[in-house]
Structure 1
Amino acid sequence: MKARKTRILADLPAHLLSRPRTWIAVGVAGMSLMGVVAATAVAPGSAPADILFERVVEALPAPVAIDTTEDSDLPFVHNERIQAGDSLQAIFNRLRIDDAEALAFLSSSDEGKKAIRQLRAGRSVTAVVSPAGQVLSFSLPLGNTSEQVVIERGDKGLALRASPSATQTAMVEMRSGTITHSLFGATDAAGLPDNVATQLATIFGTWIDFHTDLRKGDRFNVVYEAVYEDGNPVRAGRILAAEFINNGERHAVVLYRGSSGKEQYYSDDGRSLQQGFLRSPLEFSRVSSNFGRRLHPIHGSWRNHNGTDFSAPVGTPIMATSDATIDFIGSQRGFGNLIVLKHRNNITTHYAHLNGFAKGLAKGQGVSQGDVIGYVGCTGWCTGPHLHYEVRIKDVPADPMTVALPMADSFNDKELAAFKRNTAHLRQRFALLNYELASAR
């Protein structure tokens, strides 16, 4: 049998260019199973299976070390990431700074105290330190802003100044993980930041009960924003796309700005994950009076009760049940303090007897589902603290607990085609991660 020729990596470009082009792979950069900065998907079946790889190992001479520690006055330059729970003293200790004067100077100045109060894990400090451990320059970031506080030692002693921070760069990263015991155990093993892991649990929580539904071997792929400063990760942002395979069933979402102008998560076939209307405008409450005829507690006569009453303590936050525009905000006879929200499809919702309104609200202003718009009270005709909540369709009252309300924004055929076209680059990343995972097995 004729032996197949092996090739080393340097031979591959010429070999691939000379082969019949049955596939094309473009722009793959920074690719790895656990983290990819930017990449495009590789078509299934495109792996060059007929090529054998040979690893070449070459011994390199050790680099020549230069000892600058003896009789040298050259300063040391350090770049150190702030860790959770860090104090300024702990950072100085790690950097081998022995400078009580600089520590006291930073800790006593207003700018320094502000920066110390706002230490954020993941940000970076930069220090120039003399061989004796004395601070020559020390830059401390101000919270998560682009500003930093810089202490410098000059001929006249220590001085403090504000300075723009190093340029921050937003990048797209990807992670994959497989469940062995728990979701957060798998996200830790995959190197997924905690806030991204929490987002993942929230997004897929409508489909998966992470206490009871997880199975060993379930897996996930996540594409998310990451912010870097001087090559160091500063913080993670939003999930841009995610895929979760639970017990053989696939769930996938992408972040997309629809025709309403709002970004929200959609399944990768274009269905919004957001509910059209929340059924209750209060997180914790009980229904004290239902929709329909009742004996009025103040007037003592039978009347139509055009809403649902939720009993709750004074000051309980009240949420907008759907995206809307404020149609009325103020006081109105028996309703007391009242907000009326105008939604699409000729639907309005009414929130009455409020103790007060959220700050900054005004007629004509837009609000989003879940925004706090006011607080439970007992203004107007009221016998105890509660929220009177109404839903009206074309100004006709409907039972808020049973009425069929529209779901969140849905796409027409043209919008769906645009959605699939504009999110293809995100969904293709799933294919790349799954291909890498299969290749590693």
Structure 2
Amino acid sequence: MAVLVFTSGDEGASASVPATAIAPLAAVTSSPSAEPHLESPAPVEPATAEFSTPVAAELPWVSETVRSGDNLSLIFKRAGYSGRDVHEVVTGAELGKSLERIFPGQTIAFQADDEGELAAVRHIKSPLETVTYERSEQGFASKITLREPEVREAWATGKITSSLFIAGQEAGLSQNLIMELANIFGGVIDFVLDPRKGDTIQLIYEQEYLDGEKFRDGDIIAASFTNRGETFNAYRYTDANGDPGYFNEDGVSMRKAFLMAPVDFTRISS
């Protein structure tokens, strides 16, 4: 069995403190015919405490989860806002129309000012993308905030005992990764007839993390499938046009005009 080997890469300061200059003590003189005269120390005035101006706390956000069958009017109404508020945001903001494209599971958050009037709206489209609409003197202004996940490489290997799906599950792969494997090798392997007990899969793939927590699986970087003693290798490559694809070690595309057999997930998992 061929094994793919991949490698990937991954102060103290000192400061001198000047010595504090110590002023010499004033000499106390005395006369033989007089008692020493001790001056009373000057009264010490109590220090005046300094207070910094408190920072105003951010106004709270109230979140609504988009439900199946929802529209903006329903969501705004649940949050306590009117159709006029919907109209002002959608028509007044440059990106207002995108707020109409909402999907179940997304989050829309609302922020009110001190008078209870709508001040801002957040459309959390995904953990990576948020569109914010903020009220200004000219109406609502909009901005997009994008987050970049931390990408880590992971490695997995599995042995087929009954099906590709079961082998992938046992190797800790998600359903999406298993289907991607089937798509990559579908031009050279008939996953209905070809897989045999003892066949092996190996792959290096990306995992995306946000705030230290795994967010989702990324792309397969390279994979190997050994079927009936013959090993097929695939490597991800992005061309000058930005189009990704998978190729073998000779630079031949893994994608054929026709797959060996239609990739049917229910049959792969049987």
TM bucket, shorter chain: 0.3 to 0.5
TM-score (norm 2): 0.45
Larger Rg: 2
Q: Compare relative contact order (CA 8 Å, sep 6+) and give the higher one, 1 or 2.
A: 2
